[in-house]
Structure 1
Amino acid sequence: MKYLIPFTRQMCLQLASIRDGETKLAQTVHCSDGNRPLSETLDSARYSGVRFAILGIGEDIGPRANVGPGGATDAFESAMAQFLNLQSNRFLSGNECMVLGQMQTDDLQLGEEGDTDAMRSNIDRVITIVSQVISAGLEPIVIGGSHNNAFGLLTSVKHCLNRKVAAVNLDPHSDFRPPEGRLSGNSFTHAAASGALGYYHVLGMHELKNSEETLEQLSTFGGHWHTLQSIWIRREITLKSALDEIVTRLNDCQLPVALELDLDAIINMPSSASTAAGIPLLDALHYVSTIARNTPCAYLHLAEAAPSCHVASIAAGYRETGQSICELIYAYIQGRMQAQQIGYI
């Protein structure tokens, strides 16, 4: 499988603590044997009732190219260590999910002059893999890596569905910086310029972490936002009202929806740009659940988690990011399944 390191059944079971009388998700999710072409693996999974394909991207090229800390390389492993140990029961059997594997990135190292080439190669790999997932009729759940991968995801949806994409992003940064050639802090700018992005809404944007030039460019594009300060600090609008407005705007677009979440939006989350002035994890879960349940989502993207950046230890970082990400995964899956059950989508 080109650019993909398959996640096999043996790898799943190695992460799980199996007990008599219990069935863990590691025992029920679909995995790859690594011996067939990716297209055949995905088609077989879809035929077996799989709806969601979990993909890891273990790289931190974007943050480091943007003169920030790295560490966004281990989110997938930390998440799977927690997710696969959850119970398979009436709420989630696991048969709906496939743990596809992790994109190969260890050969894409950031050099003194190689940031642009490395990031563009990384984006090309994202497009190669995710396009096949979407073409097979599965919804990607993408974990880890830089938020510049949003450009590749949006491009994949546009390529497969031949439609622009409406994106919502829970993030203190709009990632709508002016294009500079490199793909760092401007993934949505590039997606807009390429014609992949049709609508963009930022939730929880920090009022002082986006330059005036960025804000002007976002306004010119027609983007919308609700700031962290307006909802969680000044309490000028409730989170419910903001989400209701976002859902209405997304559905009015009549476009497939990209559900984006930068983990550095969450208070004290180990990430490439951890913040003490963030939103509660429970609000992030509610955001994911609400958008997944009420709009035609094409994928979920959970970016920038960096277990090694935890202030206590790497082990503590693995626990916190792993637990947080697996709860976000479940919130998305449950929301999408509820949307299907009520015939909304």
Structure 2
Amino acid sequence: MSFVKVYSKEDILPLLKKRAGETKFGEEIGFVKTVKDLKNHPAKYVLLGIPEDIGVRANHGNQGTSKAWKASLGSILNIQHNPLTDAQNMLILGEIDCETQMKQAESISKEENHYVEKLGELVSQIDHKVCEVIKTIVEAKKFPIIIGGGHNNSYGIIKGVSQALQNPINCINFDAHTDFRSLEHRHSGNGFSYAFEEGFLGNYFIFGLHRNYTSKAVFNSIEEHSKRIKFNLFETISIRKELSFFDALQEAEKCCSNENFGIELDLDAIECMGSSAISPSGFSLNEARNFVAYFSKNSNASYLHICEGSPEAEIFPNQVGKAIAYLVSDVISEKYNL
């Protein structure tokens, strides 16, 4: 499949930091030669990167999310392989080939007429690639873990999973924003609204929505579709403390987990995390880990998407990669007692 750059063991060796007496995660992780080989590999989890930031720029945001994949891959490969982090249950597929679109995006001047609309056309091209690759992974009965890029990629992921399962898929989004904006050109702020409009997204729950960054129009849209779109506010959970974090998890679970659902985690929602829209107020990384660990153990969970990370948007760039590595390990660590 030309839409994905398939990795081999040799591709990741430069990222490994071996140490005597230890076995690193990357030394035991699996690989396939082609996408078609996925169905014959015993691993449950498939790691996939999306190195792009066109969707963020098309939404008037800051570039940098294209670098989250490589930053996190280095961290993931160098965690310890032990009975609690079983690398043999995961394989690295590789990355969505965004090189052509990224080069074309660089050639578009911000001074040009319809600048963001032209970027949106490139986002649509990436949507197609993401959809086809995710569809193949899910048809192979695997659980994709997708890292990198903007939240625009939620659309291609949801569409691909939905087509593979031949049903709409529900979604729980750990996010400060709804990304349910108007159906204009494609960008990082309307992936869920497009998936909803086209029938790929069933129920949708926004976990920890920030009141300060949600427009009246978006609240009206949520109200219009209140039977299928629900949310809880970050302020209700963490500021006024009218809803415990665990009860907030159960609200989202009740809304979406009775059928196949996706787990979306936007790093913008984590306080002072390097992201495309870094925020001084948000959940802690440990709360994000709790969220991922809680929902990934549900038998109806179908994928995890970690997006909007921007390693250069903070004082310590390596922390974004390490944060994502913790989140990934929380998905695969199914054993808690040796």
1:57 aligns with 2:50: yes
1:103 aligns with 2:109: no
Cα displacement string for residues 163-188 of structure 1 (whole angstroms, at most 9, x for unaligned residues): 11110001000011121132331111
Cα displacement string for residues 14-65 of structure 1 (whole angstroms, at most 9, x for unaligned residues): 21121222111111001244xxx421x21232xxx20000000010111111
What's the offset of the Cα at 1:295?
5.0
**Which residue of 21, 33, 38 maps to 1:42?**
38
Counterpart of 2:223? Answer: 219
What's the offset of the Cα at 1:6?
1.9
Rounded to whole Å, the distance in 2 between the matches of 1:43 and 1:115 is: 35
Counterpart of 1:68? Answer: 61
What's the offset of the Cα at 1:338?
6.0
1:330 aligns with 2:329: yes
Whether the 8 Å contact between 2:154 and 2:192 is mirrored in structure 1 is yes
Rounded to whole Å, the distance in 2 between the matches of 1:121 and 1:61 is: 11
1:176 aligns with 2:169: no
Pair 54,131 (structure 1): closer, same or farther in 2 beyond 3 Å: same
Cα displacement string for residues 201-249 of structure 1 (whole angstroms, at most 9, x for unaligned residues): 0011100101110111122122111111111111111101111222222
Runs of 4+ residues over 6 Å off in structure 1: none
Count of residues in correspondence between the two structures = 324
Counterpart of 2:132? Answer: 128
Whether the 8 Å contact between 1:250 and 1:295 is mirrored in structure 2 is no
Q: Which amino acid aligns with 1:199?
A: N
Q: Which amino acid aligns with 1:12?
A: I
1:304 aligns with 2:308: yes
SS in 1 for 2:88: coil
Which 5+ residue runs of structure 2 have no aligned equivalent?
Answer: 109-114
Q: Which amino acid aligns with 1:326?
A: A
Rounded to whole Å, the distance in 1 between the matches of 2:225 and 2:51 is: 31
SS in 2 for 1:17: coil
SS in 2 for 1:208: helix
Counterpart of 1:92? Answer: 85
Cα displacement string for residues 74-113 of structure 1 (whole angstroms, at most 9, x for unaligned residues): 1111111111111111112211001111111121133335
Rounded to whole Å, the distance in 1 between the matches of 2:324 and 2:98 is: 21
Q: Which amino acid aligns with 2:283?
A: I
SS in 1 for 2:46: strand
Counterpart of 1:278? Answer: 282
What's the offset of the Cα at 1:128?
1.4
Whether the 8 Å contact between 2:84 and 2:335 is mirrored in structure 1 is no
Counterpart of 1:29? Answer: 29
What's the offset of the Cα at 1:283?
0.3
1:242 aligns with 2:239: no
Counterpart of 1:233? Answer: 239
Whether the 8 Å contact between 1:171 and 1:203 is mirrored in structure 2 is yes
Q: Which amino acid aligns with 2:146?
A: V
Q: Which amino acid aligns with 1:321?
A: V
What's the offset of the Cα at 1:66?
1.1
Rounded to whole Å, the distance in 2 between the matches of 1:303 and 1:269 is: 12
SS in 2 for 1:255: coil
SS in 2 for 1:299: strand
**Which residue of 135, 147, 157 maps to 1:153?**
157
Pair 269,324 (structure 1): closer, same or farther in 2 beyond 3 Å: same
Q: Taking every aligned residue pair, what percent have the same amino acid on both sides?
A: 29
Whether the 8 Å contact between 2:35 and 2:93 is mirrored in structure 1 is no
SS in 1 for 2:30: coil
Whether the 8 Å contact between 2:121 and 2:185 is mirrored in structure 1 is no
Give the CA RMSD over aligned residues. 1.6
**Which residue of 291, 294, 304 maps to 1:290?**
294
What's the offset of the Cα at 1:292?
1.1
SS in 2 for 1:216: helix
Pair 305,191 (structure 1): closer, same or farther in 2 beyond 3 Å: same
Counterpart of 1:202? Answer: 206
Whether the 8 Å contact between 2:16 and 2:26 is mirrored in structure 1 is yes
Rounded to whole Å, the distance in 2 between the matches of 1:294 and 1:139 is: 12
TM-score w.r.t. the length of structure 1 is 0.90
Rounded to whole Å, the distance in 1 between the matches of 2:142 and 2:299 is: 16
Rounded to whole Å, the distance in 1 between the matches of 2:188 and 2:207 is: 19
1:118 aligns with 2:122: yes
